[in-house]
Amino acid sequence: MHIQDDNEPYDQINVVPMLDLAYVLLVIFIIMTTASVQGIKVNLPKASNAPSLAKPQTKAITITDGGQIFLDTYPVSLDELRTQLGALKAANPELPVVVKGDTVVEYGRVMEVLELLGQLDITQLGLVTQKLVK
């Protein structure tokens, strides 16, 4: 075994710290991509120029193809939705809400939710669509 003198240049690179960094970055990437996936999967209608309406405190109301209503990811009835949104509106008067309705859901079911939002005086409202692919 050759003992290296302080004046001799290094002829090997220690890659262990680089591998540690690569593993940490890989773990962070995996955690961030799985954390951003949330909500209930629905088939959204398409729109040509849909602006991004997501805000940090935005509440999402999802209406599935079977007519089931979800607040964020929790199933609720219309009365439960009214109660929970009323409490959230009292805490934040500028409560932003987005409505995601499946393309095959009955129009009347979406209108019931929109009417409830109007009764609660929620004016920060958005309808979620997919971008139209040409």
Q: In this model, does residue 39 exceed pLDDT 80?
A: no
Percent of the chain with pLDDT over 90: 19
Q: Which of 132, 59, 134, 133 is nearest to 100 (CA)?
A: 59
Q: What is the pLDDT of residue 6?
A: 67
Give every CB contact of residue 98 below 8 A, 6+ residues apart in sequence: 53, 54, 58, 59, 60, 61, 125, 126, 127, 128
Q: What is the pLDDT of residues 49-106, one digit of tens each?
A: 655 554 458 889 999 888 899 998 889 999 999 999 999 888 888 889 999 888 888 8
Domains of the chain: 46-131 (3.30.420.270)
At residue 107 the predicted structure's pLDDT band, cuts being 50, 70 and 90, is: confident
Average pLDDT score over residue span 101-112:
86
- For the whole model, what pTM was predicted? 0.58
Average per-residue pLDDT in the chain? 81
* φ, ψ at 131 (rounded to 5°): -70, 140
The pLDDT value given to residue 50: 55
Two structure tokens written together for 17: 């710290």
